[in-house]
Amino acid sequence: MLAASSLSLCALAAHKPSLTEVVGYVFPRDEALQPGQVDGSRMTRINYAFANIKDGRMVTGYAKDAENFAALTALRKQNPSLKILVSVGGWLWSTSFSDVSLTPASRRVFIASAMEFLTRYDLDGLDIDWEYPGMPGAGHPFRPEDKQNFTALLKELRAHFDHETKRTHRRLYLTIAAGASKEYLGNTEMNKVQKYVDSVNLMTYDYVNPGSDPATGHNSPLYTNPSAPVQESSNDSVLAFQKAGVRASKLYLGLPFYGRVWSEVADRDHGLFQPGKPAQNSWASYQVVTQTMLDAGKPGSGFVRYWDAKASAPWLYNAEKHLFVTYDDSESITAKCNYALAHRLGGVMFWEYASDPSGTLLGAVDKALHGETRAEKAQ
């Protein structure tokens, strides 16, 4: 697999798609977005997270949503090709999806509210983030028939979107955030779903979690290291979704702008694939990783960066404090973008913008996909 992938990467100079999409999730919660806070020039789509569902209807999730929608749609002035979508659901707010999709009548109510929502806030489409059909997710209600009802919901949404596009001559996008697991594939009809969506945003991260996995590992490995306790990776997920019937052009590879932290990890193999426990703060944004763990101007932090060539993934280890950190950096992000190009994927998506306010990782995406950064082009 590695040899074949390396060969494919060598062919990039001869074939580099010009329309590789970059989708960024923006999740401000109750905060108002400030002028200049989001750079819309390096993304083709922004998915605003999250709208909620109440009484079967799509509603705003946070107090500042209307203000933030206005701020994001204004970014079209600097990038006319930028599309602003709203993502509904998410890990905590997928509670109502099973009920909403259950009957033709319940689907009609939800779809009508979604159409009204998009019109009211001048949005370009909808991202369905149902976590997860046929599974409890964060303890949500679920049913065996979610499998077929998920397809029905997307099919009917697409019909309404196509009708509206014919009326207004403005394309509406329909996308989904998809769990990158065999369980997700087993509870969905991806060969049918992919007909109705513009993209399947693969959540190729959270393969290991200090809260549920007893041993350390990579949050988002590009490839599967044969020695890893969890034998899953981004490459495995892409291949599994393609086998399930999803065209490569509709698959968007997920990039995490955050990492995970284990404590009480013994100093063997620099902490990689070793038993550990969740650190007190086991989730860390890329900003936190770079400012508090890497040796950027802070000698004595105790963290050393290592690289797993088999997985194309970095990690940090602090031998004194027995802390292990899995995260993504510019090198691993670049490798994933090159993978997306080599395998003719539709693009990449990342979660989420505020985790890297410096723009370092988005800059790595831009350079990998387009050959140079916006700053370099301006010089």
Q: What is the pLDDT of residues 17-40, one digit of tens each?
A: 445 899 999 999 999 999 999 999
Active site residues per annotation: 131
Q: What is the rounded (10 degree) CA torsion for 64, 206, 18, 185?
A: -100
| Secondary structure (3-state) at 8 | helix
The string of pLDDT tens digits covering residues 132-191 is 999 999 999 999 999 999 999 999 999 999 999 999 999 999 999 999 999 999 999 999
The Cα–Cα gap between 57 and 177 comes to 20
Residue 49 contacts residue 90 (beta carbons within 8 Å): yes
d(CA 235, CA 232): 8
- Look at residue 6 in the predicted model and tell me its pLDDT: 38
Domains and CATH numbers, the chain: 2-256+328-378 (3.20.20.80)
Q: Where are the alpha helices (DSSP H) in 221-270?
A: 234-243
* Mean pLDDT for all residues in the chain: 93
d(CA 37, CA 16): 30
CA 53/CA 33 separation, integer angstroms: 23
Give yes or no for a contact between 324 and 316, defined as CB atoms under 8 angstroms apart.
Answer: yes
Task: Quote the CA–CA distance of 44 and 36 in Å, as a whole number.
Answer: 17
Q: Is 78 helix (H, G, I), strand (E, B) or coil?
A: coil
* H/E run at residue 203: strand 199-203
For the chain, the residue count is 379
Q: What is the pLDDT of residues 313-364, one digit of tens each?
A: 999 999 999 999 999 999 999 999 999 999 999 999 999 999 999 999 999 9
Cβ count near 30 (within 10 Å): 9
Q: Are 41 and 71 in contact (CB under 8 A)?
A: no
Q: Read off the pLDDT band of 301 (50, 70, 90).
A: confident
- Beta-bridge partners for 128: 88, 176
DSSP 33: P
3-state secondary structure of 255: strand
Q: Tell me phi and psi for residue 154, to 5 degrees.
A: -70, -40
Q: What is the pLDDT of residues 50-85, one digit of tens each?
A: 999 999 999 999 999 999 999 999 999 999 999 999
**Conformational region of residue 41, where left means phi above 0, alpha means psi within -120 to 50, and beta covers everything else:** alpha
